[in-house]
């Protein structure tokens, strides 16, 4: 059996993840940008075709969770890989700081409302994992509040899987040097400076704390039914190729099929 491309990035259940030992500049499996670029149009076409079958079948759904440090490439990944999907069956959801109404409920309430229905693909740009990342690093709640959330998240995702939603979680792993370069590009580019905020530097000062928090979250919540993939993302072209392969191989394993048209036999259109 041919080994799937996505296996090189998948975190096996109970495997310990130390991001300090994952090279964010790795291009394992793809030699160069010149070799990857010609493959992307076919990958996009495959993704569109699989989404159409998923939408027509109306039996399963796919949730893609994207997480990264600031400037990690979540928006770029969505722009390059998911913009060609049929909007009738695809949606991107961005989670920001919770509202007063959301804070009045449990931390998963607002997330469950945005999960995909049958036949849909939903991409989370940030997610429920902020409740074991930001709240931990910035000490917004005590440890005895955020630590039990790992198991609550596992139960939540297992429930989604049992209901027919495949959950795929991707961590875009960039280096501190690459983040600095991207921040400088944002500040200098009038079309991108709106994406930069002073608070980004506060989070950058907590780089090591975030790396530990991401590593533990991935370690504790990568399961068979909702695996994590750690994708080296310093090279944007490699990131795009890798995430394409992960999503396509996931959909291929789901094997969505057009529904049969037996009930239309004998129908005559006049």
Domain regions of the chain by residue span: 5-257
**CATH number for the 5-257 domain, one of 3.40.50.300, 3.40.30.10, 3.40.1280.10, 3.80.10.10?**
3.40.50.300
CA distance 233 to 195: 19
Checking if the pLDDT of 264 tops 80, the result is no
Mean pLDDT of 22-38: 96
Identify the pLDDT of residue 83.
75
> pLDDT class for 2, splitting at 50, 70, 90?
low
What's the mean pLDDT when you consider all of the chain? 94
> Tokens representing 71?
């400037």
Strand, helix or coil for residue 228 = strand
CA distance 132 to 150: 8
Identify the pLDDT of residue 3.
67
Of the candidate ranges 50-54, 85-89, 150-154, 196-200, the one whose mean pLDDT is the lowest: 196-200
> Tokens representing 146?
């955020």
Contact 178, 236 (CB under 8 A): no
- Helices 74-81, 236-254: axis angle to 10 degrees equals 60
Identify the pLDDT of residue 270.
83
């Amino acid at each position: 059996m041919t080994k799937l491309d996505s296996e090189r990035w998948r975190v096996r259940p109970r495997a310990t993840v130390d991001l300090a030992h994952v090279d964010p500049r790795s291009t394992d499996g793809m030699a160069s940008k010149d070799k990857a670029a010609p493959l992307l149009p076919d990958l996009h076409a495959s993704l569109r075709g699989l989404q159409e079958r998923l939408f027509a079948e109306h039996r399963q759904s796919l949730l893609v969770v994207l997480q990264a440090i600031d400037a990690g490439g979540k928006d770029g990944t969505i722009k390059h890989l998911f913009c060609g999907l049929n909007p009738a069956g695809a949606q991107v959801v961005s989670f920001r700081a919770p509202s007063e109404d959301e804070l009045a409920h449990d931390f998963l309430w607002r997330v469950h409302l945005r999960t995909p229905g049958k036949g849909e693909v939903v991409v989370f740009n940030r997610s429920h994992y902020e409740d074991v990342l930001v709240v931990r690093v910035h000490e917004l709640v005590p440890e005895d509040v955020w630590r039990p959330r790992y198991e609550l998240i596992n139960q939540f995702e297992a429930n989604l899987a049992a209901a027919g939603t495949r959950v795929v979680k991707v961590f875009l792993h960039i280096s501190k040097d690459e983040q600095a370069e991207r921040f400088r590009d944002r500040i200098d580019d009038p079309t991108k400076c709106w994406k930069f905020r002073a608070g980004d530097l506060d989070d950058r000062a907590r780089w090591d704390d975030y790396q530990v928090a991401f590593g533990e979250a991935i370690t504790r919540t990568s399961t068979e039914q909702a695996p994590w993939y750690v994708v080296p993302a310093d090279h944007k072209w490699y990131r795009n190729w890798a995430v394409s392969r992960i999503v396509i191989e996931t959909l291929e394993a789901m094997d969505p099929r057009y529904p049969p048209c037996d009930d239309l036999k004998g129908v005559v259109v006049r």
